[in-house]
Amino acid sequence: MNRPEIHISFAPEIRPLAAPERRAGRTALATDGSSTLGHVVESLGVPLTEVGRLLVDGRETPVSHVPRQGETVEVCAVDRPQRVPGAPLSFLLDVHLGTLARRLRLLGVDAAYESEDIGDPALASQSAAQRRVLLSRDRGLLRRREIWAGAFVYSDRPDEQLRDVLGRFAPPLAPWTRCTACNGLLTDADKEAVRERLEHGTQRTYDVFAQCTACERVYWRGAHHAQLQEIVERAMSEFGGAAV
Ligand SMILES: [Zn+2]
């Protein structure tokens, strides 16, 4: 069977996802003569969610192209900020990204998340039905065809994950407007109206400022406020001006 040999290279940003022998630079690859370029790229470990332009002999080429003998393929990373069709921009995070979900919500970014594992097919169809960008560190999940849009989260550290997502998608930020527990929108709270939800010490010490319109959770400036304030200030100073 004819097995065309091509040469392929990955942009530095996405090399960590590629098979180890493909990370140094341009390498030779025998293809099967029938698989599309998209399939070839994914079979080397890189989900198409991470791929921007595909250049074949320097020309931009669709993922449906079937590589031919002697072609040189450059796999580029997605542009940053990445534009996702179908505004407003919203996200869906897999079960391993709970901390990132709460931090996105703290910044007012619409971030759906279930703490129980609903499984890859359900996540993928939720992404499609609600037009949410699926965030995951699972490459198999990101390869599912039905997802609306997706992004691999490169770091396992919440600080770096947050910077990665904010830098990549530049979502508009509106701190303190969304419930970190359920993603609902917050509204101004009247301290008298929420009195029965607060313990006595809380009433005396803390200043209630918001209540969730979905789960009715009450927010006040309390024990963790300084730490959350720091996360907000850091994000706003770096990404607050990027809102569109
Ligand atoms: Zn809530």
Position 207 confidence tier, pLDDT thresholds 50, 70, 90: confident
**Phi, psi (rounded to 5 degrees) for 47:** -65, 145
Question: Could you tell me which of 52, 60, 43, 55 has the C-alpha nearest to residue 143?
Answer: 43
d(CA 239, ligand 1 centre) in Å: 25
* Ion ligand 1 contact residues with beta carbon within 5 A: 179, 181-182, 184, 212, 214-215, 217
The rounded distance, in Å, linking the Cα atoms of 210 and 175 is: 12
Domain that holds residue 128: 81-175
Give the pLDDT confidence of 135-158 residue by residue, as tens digits.
999 999 999 999 999 999 999 999
Highest mean pLDDT among 114-123, 187-196, 201-210: 114-123
Residue 234 lies in a domain: no
Please give the structure tokens belonging to residue 213.
């319109």
Token match 């008298």: residue? 192
Strands 51-56, 59-60: pairing is antiparallel
d(CA 71, ligand 1 centre) in Å: 53
What lies within 8 Å, CB to CB, of 227 at 6+ separation is: none
Name the residue type at position 223: A
206 and 161 in one domain?
no
What lies within 8 Å, CB to CB, of 224 at 6+ separation is: none
Residue 236 lies in a domain: no
The rounded distance, in Å, linking the Cα atoms of 3 and 149 is: 32
The pLDDT, as a whole number, for residue 71 is: 98
DSSP label of 78: P
Position 243 confidence tier, pLDDT thresholds 50, 70, 90: very low
d(CA 109, ligand 1 centre) in Å: 14
**Residue 4 predicted with pLDDT over 60:** yes
Average pLDDT taken over every residue of the chain: 92
Please give the structure tokens belonging to residue 35.
């698989």
Please give the structure tokens belonging to residue 63.
């993922």
The pLDDT, as a whole number, for residue 224 is: 78
Note if the bond before 20 is cis, omega within 30 degrees. no
d(CA 6, ligand 1 centre) in Å: 53
The pLDDT, as a whole number, for residue 123 is: 97
Q: Please, what is the Cα angle at 17 between 147 and 63, to 5 degrees?
A: 55
The pLDDT, as a whole number, for residue 208 is: 73
21 and 96 in one domain?
no
Token match 């997706």: residue? 150
Residue 35 lies in a domain: yes
d(CA 178, ligand 1 centre) in Å: 8
> What's the number of domains the chain is made of?
3
161 and 99 in one domain?
yes
The pLDDT, as a whole number, for residue 205 is: 58
Residue 243 lies in a domain: no
